[in-house]
Amino acid sequence: MPRITIDNQSLFYRLSANDLTGRRPPLLLIHGAGGTHMHWPASLRRLPDWTVYALDLPGHGKSPGPGRNSIAAYCDVIYALVQGLGLDRVVLAGHSMGGAIVQEFALHYPGRLAGLVLVGTGARLRVAPAILDGIRSDFPAAARAITDSVYAPGAPAQLKRLYLQRYLETDPQVLYDDFYACDQFDRRADVARIETPALVLCGEADVMTPPKFSQSLAQTLPHARLTIVPHAGHMVALEAPEETAVAVEAFLKRET
């Protein structure tokens, strides 16, 4: 499987090279707190007619640690990755914490972007103190509570079991630092400067980053479209994989 060394640290990613023209900007998928590239559905990771990179951030999945404790530091990783892969212009898609990383990247490196996909995220990502305290005091219980919060009622039990299993495999310090980074993130005063075309997508039943977060983003970003997926929660891409892939593909075809 592909790996790249960034600042003496190995990063794992999956590559689906389906753009036979070589003219379309590649899509780079960035997962959320405690996640991995598998938090993106296969229908998006293997999008027809597009080159798609799906990575594990430092300390996540198959990428060894350490992780990072700020959105800016994760943004530096993504910039180094884009540079290391020799990508001129990309479309960045980020879920939750990944969406914060995408916003940070857009504010610093707009010339490297052909588009943004912001999934279940916001310009401010306040984290409940109970989550941070719980990760420190009782990690398994906190992981179960987070799992119950990120899926809409009625989500398949197998999805939740797999999510919890992967969460429990994450270093608690990495997870704590991820949520700390989210809690410190606040770009509400800055996102109006992001001129890159954007798709803002969220689940109707998301209680982690409620639809009002996405609605605010879509209203503030100068060139944004909003898609709210019915009956889906925070893990909208896994709960509604086809709807997510269709919305992203339509955006890519329209804007890039």
Contact partners, residue 171, CB within 8 Å, separation at least 6: 59, 65, 67
Give pLDDT, residue 69.
Answer: 96
Give pLDDT, residue 7.
Answer: 82
Q: Structurally, how many domains does the chain consist of?
A: 1
Q: Calculate the alpha carbon distances from 49 to 46, 67, 86 in Å.
A: 9, 33, 20
Give pLDDT, residue 1.
Answer: 65
Q: Determine contact, residues 201/229, Cβ cutoff 8 Å.
A: yes
Give pLDDT, residue 8.
Answer: 87
Task: Return the structure tokens found at 73.
Answer: 């530091």
- Identity of the residue numbered 234: H
Give pLDDT, residue 48.
Answer: 93
Give pLDDT, residue 22.
Answer: 85
Q: Determine contact, residues 27/52, Cβ cutoff 8 Å.
A: yes
| Residues 155-191 pLDDT 10s | 999 999 999 999 899 999 999 999 999 999 999 999 9
C-alpha Rg value of the chain to the nearest Å: 17
Q: Calculate the alpha carbon distances from 16 to 31, 51, 115, 255 in Å.
A: 17, 6, 19, 21
In this prediction, the residues of the chain whose per-residue pLDDT falls under 70 are 1
Q: Calculate the alpha carbon distances from 118 to 140, 157, 160, 167, 186 in Å.
A: 29, 26, 23, 22, 15
Q: Give the domain range for residue 44.
A: 3-255
Read off the CATH number of the domain in which 146 is found: 3.40.50.1820
